[in-house]
Structure 1
Amino acid sequence: MVAQVSYLIFDVESVADGELVSRIRYPGMDYSPQDAIATYQDELMETRGTTFIPHTFQLPVAVVVAKVSADFRLVDVVSLDEPEFRPHVITQSFWRGWDAYKYPTWVTFNGRSFDVPLMELAAYRFGISLPKWFRGDGYKAPRNRYNTAAHLDLQDVLTNFGAARCNGGLNLVSQMLGKPGKMDLTGDQVQQQHNEGNKKAISDYCRCDVLDTYFVFLRTRVLTGNITLDQEIQLVAEAKQWIEERAPDCEAYRDYLGHWREWANPWAIEVDPKADTDDVPESATDAAADAPVQAVSSVDSESPGTPSVDAAADPKTDESP
């Protein structure tokens, strides 16, 4: 039986469209795409202290999506249009997949300010119609900033929709849980990797970011009361086994496991076997050790982005580029 997919956790890696940068930023100067990008990055570094080009000039070159069931189990992880990585095909697959699974909840880290706007603009660029995503239902509209049934941005969860800052971003909150966070490649290297033709390396980097996001998602479900800590520990163990089973055929998974650290559970209690067990307090991990994971809905069942039961650059910091 195929698991029902209720959440699509995704991450986007993108590069600047050099021809567009040349036409818009430097008209009449006959810059090559590479020269236009380099010039723009130099200007941004001088004025803003970053080389990150705004998403409006960018194209998706890798999108990885993790399919997650209603009970928060990892079902699958796919890199769209691999190994060709064509931006227009990636974009079409991304939005059609959301339709095919009957509008599950998108889950991102800082995706509200980068990943989703980039994919919307890519759909605009390539002439892809998104009537379900753009439907106007007032505060229930999928694109409403506070509609977490349609799009759950985990940075919003941790910052109260930007009222606080999440200094350190996804890398920080992943490593709090013992997960790898940033490894060999970083977002500011994606443009150079793409220029050198290393598309698979970009996809692998994106894949690892999605795994980090999944584990952060699980901990936020503990935070919001959807699952217990014991259930999260169980789900993490299952997901790790899922990754291990696929690691022989996937370099990204092998690298991810190589940087894995077990989360130090402060609630775990070592019990002296000679002690009177009646005097030993029950540990948090023992409390529901045998309890099955139960999904707890946190959204209005009438919200337009509510997952259907029939549904089978690096901006991941607190600072917007």
Structure 2
Amino acid sequence: MKTVLVFDIETIPDATGLRRLGDYDSQISDEQVVELAKQARLEKGQNDFFPLYLQKIVAISCVIRRTRKDGTPQFKVGTIGKIDSTEGDIIQEFYQLIDRHTPQLVSWNGSGFDLPVLNYRALVHQVTASRFWEMGESQDYDAREFKYNNYIARYHLRHLDLMDLLAFYQSKANAPLDSLAKLCGFPGKMGMDGSQVWPAYLDGKLLDIRRYCETDVANTYLMYCRFQLLRGAFSKEEYELEVEFVKKNLLQEANKPDGSHWHEYLSGFMNDVS
């Protein structure tokens, strides 16, 4: 099995960026800056969701599914970096995972949100992402195939945006991950949703945000498995074995000191819809 890297990010408004681009009193708090900027947008008839380049990444969670050189299957789920890691550090570590494994990237709306945000924030923090941006122009032998299958082109599958593909690239047909996961019998979102990340961050609940992000990538990987069944890449038996393999690994995570959220997640599995 090739290496699969499922990813998801969580963001908050970039108060530092808002200060740099606007005229705000240096004595007011980041929360006040964000609220003033939101009000200014609403007064202009805009919504209060900031553009992607003003989204600060506070968590990047990943599932890595691969087979080791000795043939041992591996499933790892977690959040990049430590709880006090900088935004630049976690972004750089994410792209280093791609450099190291050249994986199949899998996301839910990664083309429409996660990757554009990562690109903009990577520019801000002087991050290097050479493998991700490979498009077959380098002289490396193993890079030539990237001309015809790279992470950048929408219709190449080196990055598989499940939401985009399942909707046949029609935005009006997009489905939310939470709803579709639950329809498929998976747990769906746990603890919060994207609109609650900023209030949670202000309350100092970054650990809860990281846990929420981790359950999202678990949902996305399970949806990827269901998609593999749909397209015939998994037989029914292979699919069922893979789901059980995921559950087994999540139970191991649940028994770790910081794994209590996985107990709740595992309890959310329902019988498959017949």
**TM-score bucket of the superposed structures, by smaller chain:** 0.7 to 0.9
Q: TM-score scaled to structure 2, two decimals? A: 0.85
Identity of aligned residues (%): 23
Q: Which has the higher contact order (CA 8 A, sep 6+)?
A: 1
Q: Is the 8 A contact 2:149 2:157 kept in 1?
A: no
**Of 150, 155, 158, the match for 2:163:** 155
**Of 214, 218, 240, the match for 1:233:** 240
Q: Is the 8 A contact 2:59 2:210 kept in 1?
A: yes
The offset of 1:244, in angstroms, is 1.4
Q: Distance in 2 between matches of 1:43 and 1:162?
A: 32
Residue aligning to 2:6: 9
Are 1:252 and 2:261 counterparts?
yes
Bigger-Rg structure (1/2): 1
Q: Distance in 2 between matches of 1:109 and 1:5?
A: 19
Amino acid at match of 1:257: L
Q: Deviations over 1:213-253 (max 9, x none)?
A: 01100111112221123321221112112111221220121
Residue aligning to 1:111: 110
Amino acid at match of 2:121: A
Amino acid at match of 1:27: D
Amino acid at match of 1:87: E
Q: Is the 8 A contact 1:80 1:90 kept in 2?
A: yes
What SS does the aligned partner of 2:112 have?
A: coil
Unaligned runs of 5+ in 1: 267-321
Q: Distance in 1 between matches of 2:184 and 2:118?
A: 29
What SS does the aligned partner of 1:114 have?
A: helix
Q: Is the 8 A contact 1:207 1:252 kept in 2?
A: no
What SS does the aligned partner of 2:98 have?
A: helix
What SS does the aligned partner of 1:75 have?
A: strand
Q: Deviations over 1:200-225 (max 9, x none)?
A: 00000000001100110011111222
Q: Distance in 2 between matches of 1:147 and 1:112?
A: 12
Amino acid at match of 2:170: G
Q: Distance in 2 between matches of 1:119 and 1:163?
A: 21
**Superposed counterparts of 1:58-137, under 5 Å:** 58-69=55-66, 75-101=75-101, 103-137=102-136
Q: Distance in 1 between matches of 2:55 and 2:195?
A: 13
Q: Distance in 1 between matches of 2:109 and 2:121?
A: 18
Q: Distance in 1 between matches of 2:41 and 2:132?
A: 33
What SS does the aligned partner of 1:146 have?
A: coil
What SS does the aligned partner of 2:173 have?
A: coil
Q: Distance in 1 between matches of 2:32 and 2:216?
A: 30
Q: Is the 8 A contact 1:9 1:210 kept in 2?
A: yes
Pick the structure with more helix per residue: 2
Amino acid at match of 2:23: P
Q: Deviations over 1:13-43 (max 9, x none)?
A: 111111211332x325555422221123345
Unaligned runs of 5+ in 2: 137-146
Amino acid at match of 1:253: W
**Of 218, 231, 244, the match for 1:224:** 231
What SS does the aligned partner of 1:21 have?
A: helix
**Of 173, 185, 190, the match for 2:180:** 173
Q: Is the 8 A contact 1:16 1:53 kept in 2?
A: yes
Amino acid at match of 2:228: R
Amino acid at match of 1:62: A
Amino acid at match of 1:147: H
> Pairwise CA RMSD of aligned residues?
2.2
What SS does the aligned partner of 2:255 have?
A: helix
